[in-house]
Amino acid sequence: MSTASAAGPLLSVQDLGVTFGTADGPVRAVDGVSFDLTEGRTLGIVGESGSGKSVTAKALMNLLPSYAEVEGSITFGGRDLRALAAARERHFWGVELTMVFQDPMTSLNPVKRIGEQIAECLRVHLGRSRKVATAEALDLLERVGIPEPRKRLRQYPHELSGGLRQRVVIAMALACGPRLLIADEPTTALDVTVQKHILDLLDDLRRERAMSMILITHDLGVVKGRADDVMVMYGGRTMESAETPTLFGRMHHPYTRALLETIPRIDAPAHTRLVPIPGRPPSPAEVGRSCPFAARCRHRIDDCLDGVPPLVPVPVGAAGAEGAEDASHHSACIVSVGSDGRGDS
Ligand SMILES: Nc1ncnc2c1ncn2[C@@H]1O[C@H](COP(=O)(O)OP(=O)(O)O)[C@@H](O)[C@H]1O
Ligand code: SF4
Ligand SMILES: [Mg+2]
């Protein structure tokens, strides 16, 4: 993944594990996930539903329920987030580290006016006066492209469209000047025509503020051109990670390749059906004994069922060739898959 600056990465996650105690036994939702994020960069986390993306984000945001058992370390700006959470020091969640969820209504209070909600963030976290907070709320609504912002300050969430509500949530997430914004499928609930506008807005805001971002999506196409680095998750584990051009140029893992086939092509005839990945993702209870993708992988060999493949550097050059390794490109597949997608192991 990205090279850390001399001061170290803004965010460093090492060996993150999350297990939920449920009536049916422990559910391992995230298993041994590690990554670094350098200040100012965007990391795309991509995977199908149930891959462990949101649980990873919630672990960073200290939003997991009390019955979740968390392992590993999370360091943000040199501070140990898990230790801060344990000490109930909550002051910088919502300030330096904020999150935008898939459904804007999750973050909005339906019975409070928009202006009050944004101003409240500023008053509570930054101690702004009511007057200053309202003026800043107006600026923020303008910046996220909400038409007639003065009128919107006095409206309630239900009076706005889904796209405008998500812009309000983005304004709230930006209010305190975060160093890291986590956007978890921020456009999945929105109309297709609105999706690109919101993604472009997030990208513009990120550049303008030199903010770091984690962009979570099930769509590999969304991270192309928007994320600097990509981490592909499946069954709670990292399947492949690389800088974005490397991932698209020298894709290694069969799961990443399968995800790519599910992206709609711009030049495809209208109504072309996408190829869904056959089979189902593993349930978290099944994770841990073999390659998580084994049940659906057309390159599977017997060894794939014999333990969980480790995430290792991918050799540079032809797939499977001996030679230099790319320190930023890792894959958790024991079979070398050629660029034509054929296994050659
Ligand atoms: N609060 C919870 N209790 C029990 N299991 C959970 C909970 N939250 C998530 N899970 C399970 O963890 C797995 C990963 O979920 P999640 O991170 O939400 O996936 P996604 O990649 O779609 O965001 C899923 O199988 C989900 O059912
Ligand atoms: S380790 Fe085996 S089952 Fe897993 S992705 Fe690679 S080839 Fe497929
Ligand atoms: Mg999710």
pLDDT in tens, 264-323: 555 555 554 555 677 766 666 666 789 999 989 999 999 999 999 999 999 886 454 556
Beta-carbon count within 10 A of 122 CB: 22
What is the rounded distance in angstroms from the CA atom of residue 180 to the CA atom of residue 5? Answer: 16
Is residue 80, in this structure, part of any structural domain at all? Answer: no
Compute the average pLDDT of residues 108-112.
95
3-state secondary structure of 46: strand
Structural domain count of the chain: 1
Is residue 200, in this structure, part of any structural domain at all? Answer: no
What is the rounded distance in angstroms from the CA atom of residue 109 to the CA atom of residue 173? Answer: 14
What is the rounded distance in angstroms from the CA atom of residue 126 to the CA atom of residue 192? Answer: 36
CA gyration radius for the chain? Answer: 21
CA of 323 to the centre of ligand 3 (A): 37
To which residue do tokens 């050659």 refer? 344
Lowest mean per-residue pLDDT among 86-90, 184-188, 312-316: 86-90
pLDDT of residue 285: 60
Say what angle helices 130-143 and 162-174 make with each other, to 10 degrees. 130
The response to whether residue 20 sits with its C-beta less than 6 Å from ligand 1 reads yes
pLDDT at 65 over 90: yes
pLDDT of residue 282: 66
Give the confidence band of 326 by pLDDT, cuts at 50, 70, 90: confident
CA distances (Å), origin 303, targets 284, 292, 294, 334: 21, 13, 10, 8
Is residue 113, in this structure, part of any structural domain at all? Answer: yes
List, in order, residues 6 or more apart from 154 with CB less than 8 Å away: 113, 114, 115
The response to whether residue 186 sits with its C-beta less than 6 Å from ligand 1 reads no
What is the rounded distance in angstroms from the CA atom of residue 329 to the CA atom of residue 310? Answer: 13
Is residue 169, in this structure, part of any structural domain at all? Answer: yes
Lowest mean per-residue pLDDT among 143-157, 262-276, 316-330: 262-276
The response to whether residue 233 sits with its C-beta less than 6 Å from ligand 2 reads no
What is the rounded distance in angstroms from the CA atom of residue 261 to the CA atom of residue 188? Answer: 19
Q: How does DSSP assign 243-286, residue by residue?
A: EHHHHHHS---HHHHHHHHTSPPTTSPTTPPP-PPSS-PPPGGG
**Is 172 in contact with 117 (CB distance < 8 Å)?**
yes
H-helix or E-strand spanning residue 238: strand 237-243
Say what angle helices 192-209 and 162-174 make with each other, to 10 degrees. 10
The response to whether residue 296 sits with its C-beta less than 6 Å from ligand 2 reads no
pLDDT of residue 89: 82
Side chain identity at residue 210, one-letter code: A
Mode of pairing for the β-strands spanning 79-80 and 68-76? antiparallel
Q: Which domain holds residue 122?
A: 104-175
Side chain identity at residue 45, one-letter code: I
List, in order, residues 6 or more apart from 292 with CB less than 8 Å away: 234, 235, 236, 237, 239, 282, 308
Instruction: Give the CA angle between residues 126, 93, 177 to the nearest 5°.
Output: 50
**Is 123 in contact with 205 (CB distance < 8 Å)?**
no
pLDDT of residue 267: 54
**Is 62 in contact with 93 (CB distance < 8 Å)?**
yes
Is residue 108, in this structure, part of any structural domain at all? Answer: yes
- Residue closest by Cα to atom 1 of ligand 2: 333
Q: Which residues pair with 215 in a beta bridge?
A: 44, 183
Is residue 129, in this structure, part of any structural domain at all? Answer: yes
pLDDT of residue 265: 53
pLDDT of residue 323: 63
- Residue closest by Cα to atom 27 of ligand 1: 50
To which residue do tokens 């711009």 refer? 266
Is residue 316, in this structure, part of any structural domain at all? Answer: no
Compute the average pLDDT of residues 177-182.
95
**Is 205 in contact with 170 (CB distance < 8 Å)?**
yes
Is residue 154, in this structure, part of any structural domain at all? Answer: yes
H-helix or E-strand spanning residue 16: strand 11-22
What does the chain come to in residues?
Answer: 345
- Residue closest by Cα to atom 16 of ligand 1: 52
H-helix or E-strand spanning residue 134: helix 130-143
- Residue closest by Cα to atom 6 of ligand 2: 333
The response to whether residue 19 sits with its C-beta less than 6 Å from ligand 1 reads no
